[in-house]
Structures are given as C-alpha cells and as structure tokens.
Structure 1
C-alpha cells in the first residue's frame, strides 16, 4: 500500500509537471484542373484532393517543466493523404525534434522548419495553403531541414531565429566535407496588433562532394497591415542559385493580397504571385481567390478558385512547377472541408 501511494504521488507530480498533446488536421476536397499533363498531351482532371487549405497531418507535442523557468520540449509530426491514408517514406516527415525552452528562448535539435518558412507563412495572404498559396511558386519557402540546430527568441512580438543544418536533405554529414548539403539561415519578424513585417535569409549547398560549392541563396522580405476587418499583404523573394541547375539561376518573386473578415464565420482572401525569371521571358503568374466558412471553432468549409498564366514555355501550375503543360495556362477550383483536432 505504501509503495502504491508513493507511485501514485509520483504519477501525480509527473502529471502536474509534464504534458503530451495529440493534435492534427484532416483536410480533403474535390478539385478541378485544366491543362494537366496527360499521356496524350493535356487534359482536364476532376479528382479528390487531400490537403488543400492545410496539409493533412497528425502529431505529438510535449513539454516537461524542469524548474526555474526551464522546460524540455519535443514535437513529432507526420503528414498524410486523407483520400487514401498514405504517408511518405518517413514516419515523421514534417518535424521531429527535441530541445529546451525558457527565458533564454528556445533551442531545438532535429528535423524542423527553417526561419525562411517561419517568416514566409506570416506574409502569405493564403496562409501557405497547398492549393494555391505562395510556396507553389517556390517550394523551398516551405522548407524543412534535417540534422538541424535551431534557436529562436521572442520579446514583445519581435522574434529572432537562426538555424544551422549539418545535412539539409539527410544525404550530407560527409566526413571531412562540411559543405556538403549544408544549410543555414536566420530571420527577424515582428507581429503585434495590426502590424506584421519580416525578413529572412536562407542558404544551402549541393548534396554531393561534386556539387558542394553550388549554393542556393534566398532573401525574403514583406509585411502586412490590418485596416479594421481587412489585412493587406505585400512581399518579395530574391533567389540566386545553382544547386538545381548547375549554373547560375536568378529570379524575383513578388506578391500582393488581402484577407477580409466579412463576418465572424466568413473570411475572404485574394492574392497574386508573379515570378520574374531573370534573362528569360518565362515569367509565370498565379491569381487566387478564396472563401472560408467556419462551422465551428474546429471545422470549416472552403472554396478556392485560381488561374495560372504561363508564357514562353514556363510551367508553373496551381500545384507547383510541372503540374501544367509547358506554356499553357491553368484554371483550378477546389472545394472541401477541414477539421482540426
């Protein structure tokens, strides 16, 4: 009985000092696209689509109070396709890290989002919706890095963040070759009341010894301001890189947009994303409008309508590069339901 009492008391103390939360999002809808690549050239597609406004996911997030304002934290998060229940080859493809948090800030180790991601998501009128938001014009904006050490600290709405990865894609960490697959970056963003602004830098290198000196560098800046129920957004991303192409590639990405909280339940959004490919006329553009209606605090219905304009062989579709026939325009409509738990 005494042992049982001690164990019960210990369990009570542990319960009071630590917590683990199961959370997730289930998002699915029906999508219609024109000029999708097909075996015989192009065609329209009408399909079920998972992860339209948010990637469907589940995760575990935990925190233990170590005393003196110091806590141990962890997060494990996995994405999945709701239409067929499939996952990627990684169990926790979205995040897997552990670390410490306290008055000094937060220090974490593992697979985690880059400072570029953390800043860009604040500046996108579509909130990084997979169909059809900002990162479809540059998927690295939604980047995650393996083997990463990350530090962040927030004071009165101002957040400073830095990350260093020994092997961004998991193929690095080659003995004697610290440049291989290296990734580092930092950000500064401010969010308080009607004002949000941010700036971020990201750089990564080739994934082999032969390409270790190839690098992609990105600089992102932007902001938003709320005028009553309307929040306006503007942003810019500069890119100079050679990792994917092997030779110097440059582009500028610009975007404008707004969100309007029409009623407590209904929100509307619109955005335009323009990519200026340097030394080329292949400059695609995406226009999107969105409506979202909250049935409850956890469940909403949405409708997105978008148009991708391509020219001179550009191939930016509403689901990313390569999802439309080269040089062709694309119209897309997706309607669905999202539940948060």
Structure 2
C-alpha cells in the first residue's frame, strides 16, 4: 500500500512538472459603438440608419494562446479565437473558431502552423503598413481588408522564418474536395528601424478550377508622434469564379462592387494615411483609399470608388479607449452603386473598446 502511494505521488509530481512548462493565456476585446449611416433607404437620398454595432474599431473576440516550452529552443504553440457580436451576444460568423491552429516554433528554424489561420495578404497589411498605428484597421469601415481575399484560409500549412529585420512566410491550403480555399502564396517584409516595407502574393482556386490572384505591396514610416503609410493592392478574377462575392467582405457597398456577378476582371486599390499622437492619450488619424475596376461585361471603362475615414481615439488606460470615427464613400462612372442606387454615403461611429 505504501509502495503504491509512493508511486502515485511520484507520478503526480512528474505530471505537475510537465504541466508547469505549458502556459495558456486568455485574451480578448469587447468593443461596441453607435453608428450612423446616411442614404440607407430604398430610394437614393433617404433613409438615415442608426445602429448599435458590435465593434467600431475592433471586432469583439475571445481567444486562447497556448505555449509549451520543450527545451532546446523548441516550443509547441496553438491558438483558438472566437469572434462574437457584443450587441447581441451571438457568434459573429458560422465558423465558431475564426482561428484554430497548432504548430511548432524553433529558435533556429522558424515556425510551422497547421489549421485555420490568417493568410499572407492579411499578415502583410496588419504587420507592415497597417492603416492606423493604434488599430490596424477600422472594423466598421475597412475597404482595404476587402482585397485580402477573405483574410483567412481553412486547411492551411504556414511556414514563417525571421532573420534580423527580414521576415518571410509561405502558405499552402488543401482544397479537400468541395472546399473553396485551395491556396498558395507568400510574403516578404523588411523592418529597418522606423521604416518597414513588404509585399505578398496569394492565389486561391475554387472548386471549378477558376482562380483569384491577390497582390499587395506597401511601406510605413514612424517618427516620434507621426506614422505614415502607403500601399497598393490588386485582385484579379477569372471569369466565372465562384469566389468573387466571398472576397469583398470589407468593401463598403459590396453588394454592387463585388465580383459575384462575374463582371469584375481586375480591381486595384491605392491607399495612404497618417496618424498623429497629439498627447499620450489622444491619437488622430486619417486614411484615403481609391479603388479602380475593369469589367468583363459592363464595358471598357473603369468603375471607381473613393473612400475616406478620420478617427480620434482617446486612451483612458492601456486597455480601455473611446473613439469617434467619420467616413465617406463615393462611387463614380456608373457601374458601381449602393443597393438603393445611391452613389455616395456618410457614416459616423462613436464607441468604447476594452482589451484584456
């Protein structure tokens, strides 16, 4: 009996020691705001809309980072992240876990991860030339994310390696029968002091064999309170692609601007912005985006969209801030309109965000 008790105590001690090498960190964001949108009625020029939205600056989320230090510079890593609607308490998407991946990280050989995760276009945008310094993009108004081809891919294997200021990533996603997420792509970025530059390419194939190709490049510079960035992005659609509608989530007015009707051949977006930290608590930012499209059916002329947003953010603490945002959208050249036929729209949001 005493021997059995001794053996059990030794097993418990050794198991507790193994568990002690692992860490699980819970993190999250709770963000809610009040938003006004003009020109939302069934007739152009009518129908102002007021909403409580589940995230003006950031989508609310709850996540878990898991790390196990296995010695010799090798770690096991994993992430689970759920997105939620803070105004109703419901899930923000059909996929409960917006990220769900596991991998290995080596101090010498880089990192490999497997599962549902961010793609290389989203990674380069948010890590290298994010639209705003204090928040990569505005959740309620994010036309640039509309060119990141869904931002995530299922069934992905991603490899990341860093050396000094240089970072490279490669991704491959399995098609797996009826999945629309068969992909291959990569990114390269370089950070030198306050200057960063990079680019990425991604190709995704749908179940009919049609492809969408995404390319982006840009740079950012930080000096004291100033942050300046500029970028270019392009999506090219095979005629008949099944992915056009799915890859326009961030585009304002996507009901008409998207490629779901198989009429968009190529879309280019040029963007530039500046953020200024007025005081330790106050950040001011502005950003402009210009989108041009060519068409398969509608005609030889380009259709255009102009987007502008300005934000004031006040930090009560390191974790809690309040924000006020104003945005303006304008479509031109006839082919692009909102669902009600309007060609322009104003929007404004005020809200509170807490990060933990």
Equivalent residue for 1:64, pick from 50, 61, 68: 68
Change (3 A) 1:100 1:155: same
Query: Which residue pairs with 1:6 in the alignment?
Result: 10
Indicate the larger mover: 2-11 or 304-313: 2-11
Contact 1:166 1:183 in 2 (8 A): yes
Q: How does 1:275-294 map to 2 (within 5 A)?
A: 275-278=291-294, 279-294=300-315
Superposed displacement of residue 327, structure 1: 4.0
**1:253 pairs with 252, 255, 269, which one?**
269
- Equivalent in the alignment of 1:331: 346
1:125 match: 131
Matched, 1:271 2:287: yes
Q: Which residue, 3, 28, 31 being the options, matches 1:27?
A: 31
Deviates more, 1:2-11 or 1:53-62: 2-11
User: What is the aligned partner in structure 2 of residue 116 from structure 1?
Assistant: 121
Q: Deviations over 1:184-205 (max 9, x none)?
A: 1100012343111110001111
Choose which of 287, 311, 322 in structure 2 pairs with 1:301. 322
State which drifts further: 5-14 or 155-164: 5-14
Aligned CA RMSD, in angstroms, stands at 2.3
Q: Distance in 2 between matches of 1:59 and 1:180?
A: 26
* CA apart distance, 1:9: 2.6
What is the SS of the residue equivalent to 1:10? helix
Looking at structure 1, the residues matched to 41 and 192 of structure 2 have their Cα atoms a distance apart, in angstroms, of 44
CA separation in 1, counterparts of 2:230 and 2:59? 24
**Which SS does the other structure have where 1:310 is aligned?**
strand
**Structure 2 SS opposite 1:284:** strand
1:198 aligned partner: 198
Distance 1:332 1:237, change over 3 A: same
Q: Which runs of 4+ in 1 moved over 6 A?
A: none
Aligned to 2:57: 53
Report the Cα offset of residue 228 of structure 1.
Answer: 2.4
Where does the alignment leave 5 or more consecutive residues of structure 2 unmatched?
245-258, 295-299
Aligned length: 321
Correspondence for 2:165 among 151, 157, 161: 157
Residues 133-192 of structure 1 show CA distances to partners (whole Å, capped at 9, x for unaligned) of 3435x253551000110000112232100100013xxxxx129xxx97421110001234
Q: Is the Cα–Cα contact under 8 Å of residues 38 and 47 in structure 2 kept in the other structure?
A: yes
From the superposition, tell whether residues 114 and 224 of structure 1 become closer, same or farther in structure 2 (CA, over 3 Å): same
SS in 2 for 1:268: strand
Change (3 A) 1:135 1:314: farther
Change (3 A) 1:41 1:21: same
State the shift of 1:328 in Å: 2.0
Q: Structure 1, unaligned stretches of length 5 or more?
A: 168-172, 317-321
What secondary structure is seen at the aligned counterpart in 2 of 1:303? Answer: strand
1:47-68: CA deviations, max 9, x gaps?
1011221111101110111221
SS at match of 1:119: helix
In the alignment, is residue 174 of structure 1 matched against residue 177 of structure 2? yes
